[in-house]
Chains A and B, each alone.
Chain A
Amino acid sequence: MRAFTQALAGILVAGALATPVFAQELKIMAPAAPGGGWDQTARSLQQALQTEGLAKGVQVNNVPGAGGSIGIAQFVNQSKGDPNALMVGGYVMVGALIANNSPVKLDQVTPIARLTGEYEAIVVPTSSTIKTIGDLVAQLKADPGTVSWGGGSAGGTDHITVGLIAKAAGVDPTKINYIPFSGGGEALAAIVGGKVTAGISGYGEFEGQVKAGKLRVLAVSAPERLAGVDAPTLKEAGINVEVQNWRAIWAAPGITPEQKASLISTFEKLHGSKSWKDTLAAKGWSDTFLAGDTFGGYVTKEVEQTTAVLKDIGLAK
């Protein structure tokens, strides 16, 4: 009966399109302003789900603010038990919720799937005297203050990665000299211009400059070397750090196991579809799909690890 009324509503809204009756009318919240990574993920999902006929219609709405803290709070309060409500988010949210002391936590939403991910890269300008990650770590150990790291906002993925590197190298994480920049553009200009010792961000941010020969990649935070990137992993260099800046999709709290299973299967189908593969290729996103409770367990571990690092850096109590 519910499916029938939904289909009816769908027909009223979208006009008489020939789509299967069981397809859902989905709502995806992007807890960020239009244009950013989460928004792009939400809109790409909207397009792919509709093209593949996996959803009757998909609405995207933006609730920007505080690294997703505002979006998730609204999502938990307003969508409880709604089987059609979804929220995009990612690793940045993990740190933001901890640092902002958010009363809403990621274990309150229903994990559906991790979709894409990007690894961090550590770079220096080509003219730098630092040639390898070993050189950089040696300087960090000798005098951590002289190594200024340019990256994104305090407590974000970049900052957390630097904290993890310091810890793994046996350096006091509170001694790192991390310089947060507000937008990707400004950080990149400071790194290329040699205003900071090293830069850290998702590899995609640096790709153009690396290919143009302006930046040298010292290491990446991936489990194994990245195709087309001439740099070791941090692990190879003896620093036991692996960080993935992932993006994922969650469903509302309080939905039934059947509803959860149905959503997981929708996204598994999407993951196998041509539209989604094309989207990943066009946007240059790596496919790091992980579904359901496996993903839920992964999030729990990420939250634990991140809480520990943020405490070490001094950003969380």
Chain B
Amino acid sequence: MDSFASLLHGLSVAMQPGNLLYAFIGVTLGTAVGVLPGIGPALTVALLLPITFKLDPAGSLIMFAGIYYGGMYGGSTSSILLNTPGESASMITALEGNKMARAGRGGPALATSAIGSFVAGMIATIGLAFLAPLVVDLALSFGPAEYFALMVLAFTTVSAAFGNSALRGLTSLFIGLALGLIGIDLQTGQARLAFGIPDLLDGVEVTTAAVGMFALGETLYVAATASRSPDKIEPVRGSLWMTASDWARSWKPWLRGTLLGFPIGALPAGGAEIPTFLSYSIEKQLSQNPEEFGQGAIEGVAGPEAANNASAAGTLVPLLTLGLPTSATAAMMLAGFQQYGLQPGPLLFTSNPDLVWGLVASLLIANFMLLVLNLPLIGLWVRLLAIPRPWLYGGILVFATLGTLGANPSAFELGMLAVLGVLGFGMRYFDYPVAPVIIGLILGPLAEQQLRRALAISQGNPSALVETPLAIGIYVICALIVVGPLVWRMVSKKPLPVLASSED
């Protein structure tokens, strides 16, 4: 099969003026809905999918791709400007992005996020087109033991998000791990920490936790210190656009983020969060200016954003080649594909090449359209920060509760949001980092379930955890991360810049 010719044909279809218009509408709607706090790409796609049904298959597929990318990008925008991530994958973006926005550097933050998303989306989509069969073999060689190794790797890198105290960072992480215990234990079907409350049986929703601890916690803290901070944030200080130094500091993180995001996103249990954690940690290690991390380092926006977008394209690998929806967004996309008669599965690439290449072309076009639409809008977005605070934060809470209610219309969920918001507020007050709570909430249950699965399959024999080269390889990387810097210091006889700065 001549992939390249098929792709060109797909592109020529997608480039027709009518289809470009659909891509434009899709991207606009997706961004507009996705920008609301608490509404991530999965819900955005779910909400807007019915609109695409009314079009012809090619047009609706293209509009759908636009909505998808628009929803993803919109989520990052609210993370950066308002510190209100709509989903866990853009939480890391908020760490540095919002610090930049507060310092009047929201423009460059949004730009590096948009261009990084574009670069990652392009590379990963092309990777999807040409490497999918290879990547899927890798994905299938991951079993519970390898996933557990991957979780251990993720845990060894979370300290990058700890801020300036290991004690407080670990405390946050373990609070998150404790929250992650709540609900039915998947392996034995028993309720843990549910205290007989049925609403707790499904555990703490990660989106509710992220919106509560970030959006609400932030709002409460800003309110509590309102009279000592300036009434308005200066939206633009310095350049609205990325400077030469911003470019120089962004392009490598974009590529590294893509390299992490695409393969991990392709793993059936990889997810979008882990590559963003890893990317953030790597950028912090490699940065020339590690002291800027936590104060608004552009690398910390560029890398995780690229990783997030690349993992989204990676998710399409198991979806298209195996028919496996491995995330909430992918499950929505599967529902979407089925409406177009596209039945994802192992035979798709051979039985429906037109549709596959049409989809890939649509994704490329949508990605490009997103850049065209959003770069000029950055100036407008950052003006959001100029809205007087009573209205701005009133609006944020309205949208945050709308997103929570949209996913699960229950008073209990709102109560949970309020409790987590108070927790987030208290943690900010005592200078505890908030991100590790969410990281623990995500990674804890994954690590536990994979470990217990691996041990059940081996009937309790722990050597099964280190049986495959893949698992051993990942543990070796973990060991290098832990002891590598020490060895490096001994060999080079000079302190590492990373460690030096935190031990000053």
Q: Do chains A and B touch in the complex (CB under 8 A)?
A: yes
Q: Which of A66-74, A161-169, A254-262 contacts B (4 or more CB under 8 A)?
A: A66-74
Instruction: Check B142–A193 contact: CB distance below 8 A.
Output: yes
Is there a chain A Cβ closer than 8 Å to B233's Cβ? no
Instruction: Check A100–B201 contact: CB distance below 8 A.
Output: yes
Is there a chain B Cβ closer than 8 Å to A59's Cβ? no
Counting from the closest, the 9 A-B pairs by CB-CB distance are: A208-B345, A154-B189, A212-B346, A185-B324, A195-B143, A66-B201, A189-B268, A193-B140, A155-B189
- Given A63-B410, A153-B189; A145-B343 close (CB under 8 Å): no
Which residues in chain B, 324-349, are within 8 Å of chain A measured between CB atoms? 324-326, 328, 330-332, 335, 343-347
Among A35, A185, A196, point to the contact of B457 (Cβ < 8 A).
A196
Contact with B along A260-296 (1 / 0, CB 8 A): 0000000000000000000000000000000000000
Residues from chain B with Cβ under 8 Å of A184 in the complex:
324-325
Instruction: Check A61–B409 contact: CB distance below 8 A.
Output: yes
Residues from chain B with Cβ under 8 Å of A146 in the complex:
459
- Alpha-carbon distance A315/B322, docked complex (angstroms): 32
The 30 listed contacts between A and B (C-beta, < 8 Å) are: A35-B328, A35-B331, A62-B409, A65-B198, A65-B199, A65-B408, A66-B198, A66-B202, A69-B198, A70-B201, A100-B184, A154-B189, A180-B186, A183-B325, A183-B326, A184-B324, A185-B325, A185-B326, A186-B269, A189-B268, A189-B324, A190-B144, A193-B140, A195-B143, A195-B144, A195-B457, A209-B323, A209-B346, A214-B346, A315-B188
Across the two chains, which residue of chain B brings its CB closest to A213?
B346
User: A-side interface residues toward B, CB under 8 Å?
Assistant: 33-35, 40, 61-66, 69-70, 73, 99-100, 102, 145-146, 148, 153-155, 177, 179-186, 188-190, 192-193, 195-196, 207-209, 211-212, 214, 315
- Alpha-carbon distance A244/B301, docked complex (angstroms): 49
Across the two chains, which residue of chain A brings its CB closest to B140?
A193
Across the two chains, which residue of chain A brings its CB closest to B45?
A35
Instruction: Check A209–B322 contact: CB distance below 8 A.
Output: yes
CB distance from B84 to the nearest CB of A (A): 22
Instruction: Check B325–A179 contact: CB distance below 8 A.
Output: no
Known: A65-B199, A70-B199, A179-B144. 10 other contacts (CB 8 A): A66-B202, A148-B456, A153-B189, A179-B456, A186-B326, A189-B318, A189-B324, A208-B344, A209-B322, A212-B347
Instruction: Check A212–B345 contact: CB distance below 8 A.
Output: yes
Among A34, A66, A188, A195, point to the contact of B324 (Cβ < 8 A).
A188
- Alpha-carbon distance A102/B326, docked complex (angstroms): 30
* Chain B interface, >50% SS class: loop
Residues from chain A with Cβ under 8 Å of B408 in the complex:
33, 62-65
Contact with A along B154-184 (1 / 0, CB 8 A): 0000000000000000000000000000001
- Alpha-carbon distance A27/B209, docked complex (angstroms): 31
Total interface residues on B, CB under 8 Å, equals 45
- Alpha-carbon distance A99/B269, docked complex (angstroms): 26
Instruction: Check B187–A154 contact: CB distance below 8 A.
Output: yes
Across the two chains, which residue of chain B brings its CB closest to A103?
B198
* Chain A interface, >50% SS class: mixed
Residues from chain B with Cβ under 8 Å of A211 in the complex:
345-347
Is there a chain A Cβ closer than 8 Å to B46's Cβ? yes
Is there a chain A Cβ closer than 8 Å to B453's Cβ? yes
Residues from chain A with Cβ under 8 Å of B457 in the complex:
148, 177, 179, 195-196
- Alpha-carbon distance A280/B335, docked complex (angstroms): 15
CB distance from B56 to the nearest CB of A (A): 18
Instruction: Check B407–A33 contact: CB distance below 8 A.
Output: yes
Residues from chain B with Cβ under 8 Å of A145 in the complex:
459
- Alpha-carbon distance A219/B347, docked complex (angstroms): 23
Across the two chains, which residue of chain B brings its CB closest to A212?
B346
Across the two chains, which residue of chain A brings its CB closest to B143?
A195
Instruction: Check B143–A177 contact: CB distance below 8 A.
Output: no
User: B-side interface residues toward A, CB under 8 Å?
Assistant: 46, 139-144, 184-189, 191, 198-199, 201-202, 268-269, 318, 322-326, 328, 330-332, 335, 343-347, 407-410, 449, 453, 456-457, 459
CB distance from B153 to the nearest CB of A (A): 19
- Alpha-carbon distance A51/B474, docked complex (angstroms): 55
Residues from chain B with Cβ under 8 Å of A35 in the complex:
46, 328, 331-332, 335
Instruction: Check B202–A64 contact: CB distance below 8 A.
Output: yes
Residues from chain B with Cβ under 8 Å of A155 in the complex:
189
CB distance from B466 to the nearest CB of A (A): 15
Instruction: Check A186–B459 contact: CB distance below 8 A.
Output: no
Across the two chains, which residue of chain A brings its CB closest to B319?
A185
- Alpha-carbon distance A195/B186, docked complex (angstroms): 18
CB distance from A136 to the nearest CB of B (A): 16
Residues from chain B with Cβ under 8 Å of A179 in the complex:
144, 453, 456-457
- Alpha-carbon distance A315/B189, docked complex (angstroms): 7
Residues from chain A with Cβ under 8 Å of B187 in the complex:
154, 180
Residues from chain A with Cβ under 8 Å of B140 in the complex:
189, 192-193
Among B141, B201, B331, point to the contact of A65 (Cβ < 8 A).
B201
Across the two chains, which residue of chain B brings its CB closest to A156?
B189
- Alpha-carbon distance A179/B46, docked complex (angstroms): 30
- Alpha-carbon distance A152/B457, docked complex (angstroms): 15
CB distance from B199 to the nearest CB of A (A): 6
- For A70, A189, A315, the residue with the greatest tally of chain B CB atoms inside 10 Å of its CB is A189
Instruction: Check B198–A73 contact: CB distance below 8 A.
Output: yes
- Alpha-carbon distance A100/B192, docked complex (angstroms): 12
- For B139, B141, B324, the residue with the greatest tally of chain A CB atoms inside 10 Å of its CB is B324
Residues from chain A with Cβ under 8 Å of B325 in the complex:
183-185
Across the two chains, which residue of chain A brings its CB closest to B348?
A208
- Alpha-carbon distance A114/B198, docked complex (angstroms): 26
Residues from chain A with Cβ under 8 Å of B331 in the complex:
35, 183
Residues from chain A with Cβ under 8 Å of B347 in the complex:
208, 211-212
CB distance from A43 to the nearest CB of B (A): 9
CB distance from A200 to the nearest CB of B (A): 15
Residues from chain B with Cβ under 8 Å of A61 in the complex:
409
- Alpha-carbon distance A35/B139, docked complex (angstroms): 25
Instruction: Check A69–B318 contact: CB distance below 8 A.
Output: no
- Alpha-carbon distance A40/B184, docked complex (angstroms): 24
- Alpha-carbon distance A246/B427, docked complex (angstroms): 47
Among B186, B268, B332, B410, point to the contact of A185 (Cβ < 8 A).
B268
Across the two chains, which residue of chain B brings its CB closest to A190?
B143
Residues from chain A with Cβ under 8 Å of B198 in the complex:
65-66, 69-70, 73, 100, 102
Residues from chain A with Cβ under 8 Å of B46 in the complex:
34-35
